[in-house]
Chains A and B, each alone.
Chain A
Amino acid sequence: MCNHPSEFVRYRETQFLAGNQIMQWEIVIGLEVHAQLSTRSKIFSGASTAYGAPPNTQACAIDLALPGVLPVLNKGAVERAIRFGLSVGAAINSPSIFARKNYFYPDLPKGYQISQYELPVVQGGTIRIQTESGEKVIRLTRAHLEEDAGKSLHEDFHGMSGIDLNRAGTPLLEIVSEPDIRSSAEAVAYAKTLHALVRWIGICDGNMQEGSFRCDANVSVRPKGTEKLGTRCEIKNLNSFRFLEKAIDFEVGRQIEILEDGGVIRQETRLYDANRDETRTMRTKEDANDYRYFPDPDLLPLEISPAWIEQIGRALPELPRVRQERYMTEFALSQYDASVLTASRETADFFEATVGHLPGQGKLCANWIMGEISGQLNKDGIEIGSCPISPDRLATLLARIVDKTISGKAAKTVFDSLWKGEFGQDVDTIIAEKGLKQISDDGALETLIDQVLTANPQQVADFRGGKEKAFNSLIGQIMKATQGKANPAQVNAMLKRKLEA
């Protein structure tokens, strides 16, 4: 038995191909993502949604479900749902209906969650993801508004559970995909693309540690080439991309093993245990009727006017996908570079601000942002929003490479100095103070080269005798003599000319 589930899947596939029976499994995944909307107040009450407040200080009468209270819908939540719908090319339903989803749990004081069943705000739409074999379109079923539940704390209350209702009533957008995903890697690519999008359009802060972006995965397998979907299991509350991938890999291995042993999959909800890297039964799945959905009589049909949709559409920022294509045509960047730079709006804006100061140098700017900047940000554990080097300073530094004032190597020294905030972050002062200016004066360089050649007659003879290696050794000595301040390309050309003369 292999240790890793995905290895196990591959092993099984090979084994079946080797035998008489040719049997391969196709993995079918649909994702449900709960994105917490970045409103100030809750979806049906005026209580604050700020994270981290002392327990129950942000739970008002409506959130507590005291008798006689009525929900009033937050315009900001609806507006964000529409923004999402427009950014994925979905239809916006009007009217849209709120429904009660009935179940009993202490952190759900009403005994039902207000959600949407028929006529969600967002219907359809697509997300494009990058896979190993190119771009793939994942269809969305719907995205609907709903309220979050509170939190139950089970430890240390003398056999009782403690209930914190601060989170109760926080607006969520549940984004449901069609079962178009075929591997854990595709699931992660989809979740990452969606994560970047909701942050890009400013509807969700995407903070996964705080639970602002949570994934549930519906996983099933079927013999390759067949149409009928296998019985699915739902894995709940995956709050990191890594857990999403590992949970799916484990679950796929588990289901294939059961089926190949002649068993049947039971439809159920499962939990992923990160410590043991396995999924286990949480509850056997009720069918949709068990929630006894019905339209909530406390909420009227939501009408969304075409004028409102149009207004939201006009205010929508240029979407990551559109920007990616523009970077490829406008700055001649590769698809890879363009997709890395558009992974977040902050990074993309930083790139554009930099290249704005240095027209025609898109690739150079991209390389430095994806290389030095991103590396240092990672090292210091900070986001690009708090980058100590501003785009215009970075552009000034890169301009000195372009005009050959400094070499690429010296530029890294200047970069480090800028990062530390030395010399008032003035690029030219740093170059001067650290003596990094390239020797571009042909005469001075020629004198230096002549000196090195005179001092190394053996190597000159070796090169002329056909030993290519001797050339590199001479270059090395010249660069050393210039203290790295010569332009390598220039030294190369001059040395070649001299030796071949």
Chain B
Amino acid sequence: MTLTVDDVKRIADLAYIEINEDEANAALTQLSGIFGLIESMQAVDASNVEPMSHAQSVTQRLREDTVTEMDQRELFQSIAPDVEAGLYLVPKVIE
């Protein structure tokens, strides 16, 4: 797979990362290098290996369904830039 500078810009856009032309080209070189590594690995026959979704071969621990967290709103909101009526205030976003 060949990555283009347009792909890089699109990914940056989706990730809300501001990126200029030079940075986009640099990222293209780096990302293409990573793709190269992946391509090399794909040469290995892995048809008999079950794909992993996690680097560790352990399974998810489950929590009992009980309420363990107490209200700490004041503590959390003491470091928030702006609060009112118990709400966190943010610049208006309406989609």
Residues on A lying within 8 angstroms of B by beta carbon are: 39-41, 45-48, 54-61, 64, 66, 72-78, 95, 97, 102, 104-106, 118-119, 152-154, 157, 159-165, 282-283, 290, 292, 295, 297, 299-303
- B63's partner among A46, A61, A162 (CB-CB below 8 A) is A46
Q: Using Cβ atoms and an 8 Å threshold, which residues of chain B touch A95?
A: 53, 59
B53 x A157 contact (CB < 8 A): no
Q: Using Cβ atoms and an 8 Å threshold, which residues of chain B touch A300?
A: 54, 56, 58-61
A160 x B73 contact (CB < 8 A): no
Q: Using Cβ atoms and an 8 Å threshold, which residues of chain A touch B61?
A: 72-73, 300
A119 to chain B, nearest CB (A): 8
9 A-B pairs with the lowest CB-CB distances in the bound complex, closest first: A76-B65, A46-B68, A162-B87, A55-B86, A75-B62, A60-B69, A300-B60, A303-B59, A160-B89
- B68's partner among A39, A41, A55, A297 (CB-CB below 8 A) is A41
A301 x B86 contact (CB < 8 A): no
B87 to chain A, nearest CB (A): 3
Mostly helix, strand, loop or mixed at chain B's interface? loop
In the assembly, what is the distance between CA of A76 and CA of B84, in Å? 34
Q: Which residue of A lies closest to B79 (CB)?
A: A66
B90 x A40 contact (CB < 8 A): no
Q: Using Cβ atoms and an 8 Å threshold, which residues of chain B touch A75?
A: 62-65
Residues on B lying within 8 angstroms of A by beta carbon are: 11, 14-16, 53-56, 58-69, 71-73, 76-77, 82, 84-95
In the assembly, what is the distance between CA of A467 and CA of B57, in Å? 93
Q: Using Cβ atoms and an 8 Å threshold, which residues of chain B touch A41?
A: 63, 65-69
Q: Which residue of B lies closest to A297 (CB)?
A: B54
Q: Using Cβ atoms and an 8 Å threshold, which residues of chain A touch B66?
A: 40-41, 46
A124 to chain B, nearest CB (A): 21
A270 to chain B, nearest CB (A): 13
In the assembly, what is the distance between CA of A55 and CA of B88, in Å? 9
Mostly helix, strand, loop or mixed at chain A's interface? loop
A160 to chain B, nearest CB (A): 4
B78 to chain A, nearest CB (A): 12
In the assembly, what is the distance between CA of A302 and CA of B64, in Å? 15
B88 x A165 contact (CB < 8 A): yes
A162 to chain B, nearest CB (A): 3
In the assembly, what is the distance between CA of A12 and CA of B15, in Å? 45
In the assembly, what is the distance between CA of A47 and CA of B63, in Å? 12
B87 x A48 contact (CB < 8 A): no
- A77's partner among B65, B82, B86 (CB-CB below 8 A) is B65
Q: Jot down 23 A-B pairs with beta carbons below 8 A, ordered by A.
A: A40-B67, A41-B63, A41-B68, A48-B69, A57-B86, A58-B71, A59-B73, A59-B76, A73-B60, A73-B61, A74-B65, A75-B62, A75-B64, A95-B59, A106-B90, A157-B87, A160-B90, A161-B91, A162-B87, A300-B58, A301-B59, A301-B60, A302-B59
Question: If A39-B65, A41-B68, A47-B69 touch, does A56 touch B92 (CB 8 Å cutoff)?
Answer: no
* Of listed A106, A153, A300, residue having the most chain B CB within 10 A: A300
- B93's partner among A77, A105, A283 (CB-CB below 8 A) is A105
B86 x A54 contact (CB < 8 A): yes
Q: Using Cβ atoms and an 8 Å threshold, which residues of chain B touch A297?
A: 54-55
In the assembly, what is the distance between CA of A157 and CA of B90, in Å? 10
A161 x B63 contact (CB < 8 A): no
In the assembly, what is the distance between CA of A324 and CA of B66, in Å? 35
B91 x A73 contact (CB < 8 A): no
In the assembly, what is the distance between CA of A243 and CA of B95, in Å? 21
B93 x A152 contact (CB < 8 A): yes
Q: Using Cβ atoms and an 8 Å threshold, which residues of chain A touch B86?
A: 54-57, 164
Q: Using Cβ atoms and an 8 Å threshold, which residues of chain B touch A105?
A: 93, 95
A55 x B87 contact (CB < 8 A): yes
Question: If A56-B76, A283-B95 touch, does A163 touch B53 (CB 8 Å cutoff)?
Answer: no
A78 x B53 contact (CB < 8 A): no
A48 x B67 contact (CB < 8 A): yes
In the assembly, what is the distance between CA of A299 and CA of B62, in Å? 11
In the assembly, what is the distance between CA of A299 and CA of B89, in Å? 30
A56 x B59 contact (CB < 8 A): no
Q: Which residue of B lies closest to A53 (CB)?
A: B71
- A301's partner among B54, B63, B77 (CB-CB below 8 A) is B54
A159 x B63 contact (CB < 8 A): no
In the assembly, what is the distance between CA of A39 and CA of B62, in Å? 14
Q: Using Cβ atoms and an 8 Å threshold, which residues of chain B touch A58?
A: 69, 71
Q: Using Cβ atoms and an 8 Å threshold, which residues of chain A touch B60?
A: 73, 299-303
In the assembly, what is the distance between CA of A97 and CA of B51, in Å? 12
In the assembly, what is the distance between CA of A292 and CA of B15, in Å? 9
A292 x B54 contact (CB < 8 A): no
